[in-house]
Structure 1
Amino acid sequence: MSVSPVKPLTGAIESGVHRFAVRVYFEDTDFSGVVYHANYLRYMERARSDLLRVAGIDQREAHASGTGVYAIRDLSIDYLSPARLEDDLLIETRVTALGAATVSMVQAISRDGRLLTDATIRAAFLTPDGRPRRQPADWMAGFRRLMIQP
């Protein structure tokens, strides 16, 4: 019997918004069945990593070649309503600003169209030794394309 390879789902960019779906599993929740607060940050990190992948940015290669890596410089998060076990969540990410060595984004987590959590994030592009570095020009061009709303 031949088994087809199963690949992780990937998000999609539509009208400048990256959409990424996740499901809440038992391991994501606390003793009350509500998603543990730090896991919202994990969901957002997955969505940002997927946004980079969908935009053609190879983080692993950038790290291996010494080009650089992104690190969160600052983050503000607002928890509005809890997510629970078995919920299907949608993480939407929008690029809002771009600097020579930074990219700012807003992210929202919703369930069935209801906003549960939102955040503003600024990531800095760093050298392997942790110093700010200009983002590669093609990466910046990709982010600029995401900022353009039709």
Structure 2
Amino acid sequence: MAPEIRTEGFSWPTRVYWEDTDAGGVVYHAQYLAFLERARTEWLRAHGYGQELLRIEHDLVFAVRAMTLDFRLPARLDDALQVGVVLRECRRASLVIAQTIERDGVRLLDAEVRVAALAAGDFKPKAIPPTLYPMLKQLQSTPAERRHDESNVE
């Protein structure tokens, strides 16, 4: 599936498969983390920075440091989902990313993900490389965009 790139963020399509669900056909809560991770990975890749490239050429990995999830409605077997990614804040060695999961325009989940930039060799904090940092700063949402996003939260 091809990503949908929008000016206000990035959206990655995914579908709910049998292995994503519990016995009742509802997405198991931990599986949402995998959906969010894949969308963040594809967001980076869409901007020219695949995870392997970052690791090999820049000795950089991003690791989740903290995450807040708000489960609104369940996703179910065979649902077509859109997983959104918006960079809220870019610091020298960390990012704050807002993510959503929607089905047919209905919000199922909100997430705030804090990731740390680490050296791939020793997993110690590391500054985001100068080749990547300016691009990320450009992608950072503006305060007006954040207010708009927050006003759309029910």
Shorter-chain TM-score above 0.5: yes
Deviations 1:11-62 (A, max 9, x none): 1321130110000011110011100001111000000000000011132022
More relative contact order in 1 or in 2 (CA 8 Å, sep 6+)?
A: 1
With 139-148 and 26-35 compared, the bigger mean Cα shift is at: 139-148
Please state how far the C-alpha of 1:114 moved relative to its aligned partner: 0.7
Aligned partners of 2:13 and 2:4: how far apart in 1? 10
Residue 124 of structure 2 corresponds to 131
Secondary structure in 2 matching 1:37: coil
Of residues 83, 88, 92, the one that matches 2:84 is 92
Query: Percent identity over the alignment?
Result: 35
Runs of 4+ in 1 over 3 A off after TM superposition: none
1:117 aligned to 2:104? no
Residue 55 of structure 1 corresponds to 47
Give the alignment's Cα RMSD to 1 decimal. 1.5
Residue 17 of structure 1 corresponds to 9
Of residues 30, 35, 42, the one that matches 2:27 is 35
User: Structure 1 residues 66 and 57 mapped into 2: Cα distance closer, same or farther (>3 Å)?
Assistant: closer
Aligned partners of 2:54 and 2:139: how far apart in 1? 20
Contact 2:87 2:141 in 1 (8 A): no
Contact 1:16 1:146 in 2 (8 A): no
Larger radius of gyration: 1
Please state how far the C-alpha of 1:67 moved relative to its aligned partner: 1.5
One-letter amino acid of the structure 1 residue matched with residue 41 of structure 2: S
Contact 2:90 2:140 in 1 (8 A): no
Aligned partners of 2:99 and 2:9: how far apart in 1? 10
Residue 4 of structure 1 corresponds to none
Residue 139 of structure 2 corresponds to 146
One-letter amino acid of the structure 2 residue matched with residue 139 of structure 1: L
Secondary structure in 2 matching 1:63: helix
With 53-62 and 28-37 compared, the bigger mean Cα shift is at: 53-62
Unaligned runs of 5+ in 1: 1-8
Unaligned runs of 5+ in 2: 146-154
Alignment TM-score, normalising by the size of structure 1:
0.89
